[in-house]
Structure 1
């Protein structure tokens, strides 16, 4: 465009050439919209990718835990068996010792009896009789507990396919998950279970156990010092429900603080 001043013959005016750029502006706005949509889709894709990576990590951890549990289960099996056999052998040996003791009252050869009596006092035979069986019983209980933890770990870390639905007892899943996260809870809270009468449900056990684990860990983290975590289950119409409630106690007066439901 240009400005033309007035003269004696022509008035002042502006002349020039104009171009309609509406379509270019529309195209530019459309391009911005498309770019925004592409960026949104890319962000969602990255989020899905991160979730897939996390799922793969959890699956790998689950497979590793299942493998470790299997490896532990083998030696625990024969340890349990050996302890059972050892208890039987010791009971037989102690019975034999008792028979020999009966002979002491009729034996007159003091040169043989005196060393035996001295050795019995040295090893404290009466204490040994009871303590050795108590030690075996405690060892057997410990091995049985390890076996239970290993089985719970195998159940918890079960990795199936997306369509690997199963009919399960919901309480069994809660119990195995409680055993796995026990170390996170036992120093802070007492667990109270109020279980209803539940039918078996069809679900993905591994994913459901992950949900239970997150709820229980969050409930424990909500307790500062000491408290109670209450697990309730029940049915309503055609559904089953699970409630996790965390209650904190004030340390000084031992009074209840507000509850938190998860």
Structure 2
């Protein structure tokens, strides 16, 4: 091979690597946009009723202050009772407790989502480290819950797993892709099974749905960049390609089983320890 040919080949490989990196970054940005929409929806709901509760509580506080002020003005307990009845004191007393309890629940939900988002992201993380796979899966479920809840019930079956050496944020990305794909494969209401296990020095997690499945002629092309069975505008065709790249980087593999009309199963195998 001539020096010019070698140089040309080297430049082509560099260009391909750059294009591949840009494609994967494009998919990450698309996923972040999808994630942001889901998080905004999940946070907006509890914040909405907490805001409404605070407005109601503000009115109740004004009424309670009026009752307290009345104690200095009324001439008898009978007059005070009339003021309390007029301002519906007994109803306020019961409703205040319910509003506070509901608001605490809403703020707790927002806190859970923010914690899950912190666990999920770590955008600049590129270092392999010991991590709890179940924690990452649960964080991802918390974030994608809005998209899943209208399509499927999620059934978890977690095995007993050791910590694994991985880049947690990247595995979260794989789980996000597989879970959202499972939801998209379900037409009305279905079930998504999320399972984990350990065997022969490897751990695995699996996403199985009872959606419309994958045609046999498409199975061999699932991890090709830009290949998608979704309608135009509904998918980039990069999610599974990115997932495959991440899993290979971790020294693992993805197994796929599907039957048209019966659903699909994606199982991700990962080594417990990274080879030096």
Q: TM-score range by the shorter chain?
A: 0.5 to 0.7
State the partner residue of 1:52.
21
Change (3 A) 1:114 1:259: same
Matched, 1:188 2:157: no
Match among 86, 94, 99 for residue 135 of structure 1: 99
Mapped partners of 1:153, 1:54: distance in 2? 24
Among 72, 81, 85, the residue aligned to 1:121: 85
For 2:183, which of 220, 224, 228 is the aligned residue? 220
Q: Which residue of structure 2 lines up, in the alignment, with residue 260 of structure 1?
A: 264
Equivalent pair of 2:153/2:190 in contact (CA under 8 Å): yes
Q: From the superposition, tell whether residues 114 and 137 of structure 1 become closer, same or farther in structure 2 (CA, over 3 Å).
A: same
Q: Paired residue for 1:18?
A: none
Indicate the residue corresponding to 1:149 in structure 2: 113
Cα deviations across residues 5-29 of structure 1 (Å, max 9, x unaligned)? Answer: xxxxxxxxxxxxxxxxxxxxxxxxx
Q: CA deviation at 1:120?
A: 1.4
Q: Is the 8 A contact 2:158 2:196 kept in 1?
A: yes
Q: CA deviation at 1:144?
A: 1.1
**Aligned-partner Cα distance in 2 for 1:156–1:207:** 9
Task: Please state how far the C-alpha of 1:160 moved relative to its aligned partner.
Answer: 3.8
- 55 and 247 in structure 1: CA distance in 2 versus 1, 3 angstrom threshold: closer
Distance 1:178 1:45, change over 3 A: same
SS of equivalent to 1:241: strand
Correspondence 1:234 to 2:238 = no
Tell me, in whole angstroms, the C-alpha distance in 1 between the residues paired with 2:107 and 2:84.
31
- Describe the SS at the equivalent of 1:223: coil
Equivalent runs, 1:18-167 vs 2, <5 Å = 34=5, 38=8, 42=12, 44-54=13-23, 58=28, 111-162=75-126, 164-167=127-130
RMSD: 4.0
**5+ residue gaps in structure 2?**
213-260, 267-276
Larger Rg: 1
Per chain length, whose mean CA-contact separation is higher, i.e. which structure has more relative contact order (CA < 8 Å, sep 6+)? 2
* Count of matched residue positions in the alignment of Structure 1 and Structure 2: 189
CA contact (8 A) 1:226 1:248 kept: no
Shift in Å, 1:122: 2.1
Distance in 2 (alpha carbons) for counterparts of 1:52 and 1:159: 15
1:98-151 deviations in Å (ceiling 9; x for gaps): xxxxxx9xxxx9843344222212222222111101101111111111011001
Per the normalisation by structure 2, the TM-score is 0.57
Q: Which residue of 2 aligns with 1:172?
A: 135
**How far apart, CA to CA, are the structure 2 residues paired with 1:188 and 1:132?**
35
